[in-house]
Amino acid sequence: MTPPIDIAGTSTFSKPLQLPLSQEELDRINNYLRPLVPEESLRWAVDHIPGLFQTTAFGLTGLVAIDMLSKITTSPPPLIFIDTLYHFPETYELVKDVKKKYGVPVTVYKPQGCNTVQDFERKHGEKLWETDEDAYDFSVKVEPARRAYEELGVKAVITGRRASQGADRANLQPLEIDSTGLLKLNPLFAWNYHLVEWYIKENGVPRNKLLDQGYRSVGDWHSTVKSGEGDAGERAGRWAGKVEKTECGLHVDYFKIKAAAEKKEREDVQHIQTAP
């Protein structure tokens, strides 16, 4: 059956979209979004996607989307910031700059039951990112994000992922559905790093000051280093020394990383119970 066509000659979609989406409808939406510029994709999403939020660590691409949305609508999707407790001071400063410039609400979620690094390390031990990477990612990012989605009624999120970042993102589509049914809109999926940098400079968008100090991509302070000479990767310096790691946990299979974290927790409990 041919999808309905409006008078402008573009495919029409229900407002709001009826969820969950079938694979056929998802394919139809991606065929429509793929040739659009990011602003057009964002405008379409604001008009069509229910329960739309933006999850952001305030990386360059996320900042571009924030700026674009500020010019598209007076009521942009609220921002969700996952505070791992291990961000650089410059990242927390950037959050304040963004709130001041754009006046958009920022809801902060932290690891469950933890307000400080000391709280987290009393609960999980020191340097969990070294002893169990999956458990760390789940505790500081995945669990807080899922809690945010459930409490805020999130059905879809805007991400800063781009295909040019490579690895698992190389075949990125404009709109995807993860293993939990969450919609993920990737409005700048087709942009490269140079386009992102150009937009930031042309539009006076706030950016992390660490990017002027030799960092190319900024995450937690304990696993982010300055990119080396000749290291041109877009996420150079992230997860230093861990060649196989390319994602933080938010964009991997939720059920897989949850199972790994729960296994670690059971092993820890068993170790405590059997300790002399």
Cβ(108)–Cβ(81) below 8 Å: yes
Active site residue 248: yes
Residue 227: DSSP 8-state: P
β-strand 175-177 against 183-185: which pairing, if any? antiparallel
Q: Which of 154, 172, 248, 257 is catalytic?
A: 248
Q: Which amino acid is at 245?
A: K
Q: Strand pairing partners for 185?
A: 158, 175
β-strand 106-109 against 183-185: which pairing, if any? unpaired
β-strand 52-55 against 156-158: which pairing, if any? parallel
Complete DSSP assignment for 103-132: ---EEEE-STT-SSHHHHHHHH-TTHHHH-
Cβ(155)–Cβ(19) below 8 Å: yes
In total, the chain counts a number of residues equal to: 276
Cβ(155)–Cβ(183) below 8 Å: yes
Catalytically active residues are: 248
